[in-house]
Amino acid sequence: MILLDGKRIAAEIHQELAVEVAQLNSRGIEPHIALLLVGDNPASLSYVRSKSRACEQVGIRSTVVHLPAATSEQEILAYIEQWNADPAIHGILVQLPLPAHVRSDTILQAISPQKDVDGFHPVNVGRLVVGLPALLPCTPAGIVELLRRYQIRLAGKHVVIVGRSTIVGKPLANLLVQKAPWADAIVTVCHSGAPDLRRYTLDADVLVVAVGRAQMIRGEHVRQGAVVVDVGINRLEDASAPKGYRIVGDVDFASVAEKASALTPVPGGVGPMTIAMLLRNTVTIAAGTAWEKPPFQ
């Protein structure tokens, strides 16, 4: 079985991006991302920290604004408007989830589509669906890039995605059905309404799991020789672990490893690829090519 090492591939991409950033610097451009965090969700705090640290490693400047949970929608919108208008800010990211009194859609739609590093704005979603160059959502793009760098071809393959969220399942399905050399897959999307998941998952050449349920997909769901991508990040309490918990995926690693020909670990699989794609989006915006270059060249 091949371990699809997202950490190693992400490090490779970071090195490539550092070169691009240096070239931009020599043209007087300093890629710069603004990250907005509202409230004190510990997972969100840790994600924003990792993103900001990764930016600095490749030479992207990051400005982090951390607001209290009670911040109003108006105050958040004021930051976004200020960053939209600031030519020195290339990317804007609002860490989700937002507190319940804030309408996420309103906030995400206020971000300029050309600074939308997360690829969640409806303009970018629409461009992706019709096959125009777009700022792609980072997790789906990271999955495609990881498979591509391991030379796992998707053309003509049956890809089964478990989970239809707007940040993973749906955009990934839209990417993989594109008529393009890096896609061209036959795609099935499953969700909680599927009466018998195994009926679909057992037919998958490539199985992508994004359900948010710890270790739900087991060996019995997987066809011998399938490629399995585990998107899940779940905290499992574990008194013996230094932090009192450990991170596991949506896939039961041990039983799936016996069936799969290739499998992503958690941590160290899709997570680092997601951050690498965030950095790449920021650099392409700074370079002015975000809506010009087709993806995955």
Distance from C-alpha of 110 to C-alpha of 84, rounded to nearest angstrom: 9
The CB-of-272 to ligand NDP minimum distance in angstroms stands at 8
Question: Phi and psi (nearest 5°) for 27?
Answer: -95, 10
Q: Single out the residue of 113, 119, 140, 232 in contact with ligand NDP (rule: CB under 6 A).
A: 232
Question: Which CB atom, from 191 or from 293, has the smaller least distance to ligand NDP?
Answer: 191
CA dihedral sign of residues 278, 45, 267, 61: positive
Q: How many residues does the chain have?
A: 297
Catalytic-residue membership of 259: no
Of 45-84, binders to ligand NDP (CB under 6 A) are: none
Annotated catalytic, 51? Answer: yes
Of 21-29, 106-114, 160-168, 237-245: span binding ligand NDP (CB under 6 A): 160-168
What residues between 104 and 143 interact with ligand NDP by CB under 6 A? 139
Known catalytic membership, residue 74: no
Residues touching ligand NDP, count (CB under 6 A): 26
Determine the Cα–Cα distance for residues 265 and 205; give it in Å rounded to an integer.
Answer: 18
The answer to the question of residue 164 lying near ligand NDP (CB under 6 A) is yes
| CA distances (Å), origin 28, targets 31, 214, 286 | 10, 46, 11
Q: Given the residues 116, 118, 205, 230, select the one marked as catalytic.
A: 118
Q: Which residues contact 254 (CB under 8 A, 6 or more apart)?
A: none
Write the interaction track for ligand NDP spanning residues 249-288; mark x where CB under 6 A is met and - where it is not: -x-------------------xx--x--------------
Cβ 275 to ligand NDP shortest distance, Å: 8
In angstroms, what is the minimal distance from the CB of 122 to ligand NDP? 18
Give the range of 8-16, 99-107, 129-137, 230-238 binding ligand NDP by CB under 6 A.
Answer: 230-238
Nearest residue (CB) to ligand NDP, 113 versus 249: 249
Q: Which amino acid is at 282?
A: T
Residues of this chain, 12-31, that bind ligand NDP according to CB under 6 A: none
Q: Considering beta carbons, is residue 77 or 164 the nearer one to ligand NDP?
A: 164
Give min distance, CB of 274 to ligand NDP, in A: 3
Burial classification of residue 242, based on how many CB atoms lie within 10 Å of its CB (0-12 exposed, 13-18 middle, 19 or more buried): exposed
What is Dmax (Cα atoms) for the chain? 57
H/E segment holding residue 18:
helix 6-26
Using CB under 6 A, which of 13, 92, 168, 279 touches ligand NDP?
168
The answer to whether the bond into 122 is cis (omega within 30° of 0) is no
The amino acid present at 213, given as its one-letter code, is R
- Of residues 166, 115, 149, the one with CA closest to residue 16: 149
Say which residues have a Cβ less than 8 Å from residue 22's Cβ, sequence separation at least 6: 59
CA distance 80 to 83: 5
Contact by Cβ (8 Å): 296, 143: no
Binders in 174-213 for ligand NDP, by CB under 6 A: 190-194, 197, 210-213
Q: Which residues are catalytic?
A: 51, 95, 118
Which residues contact ligand NDP by CB under 6 A? 139, 162-165, 167-169, 190-194, 197, 210-213, 231-234, 250, 270-271, 274
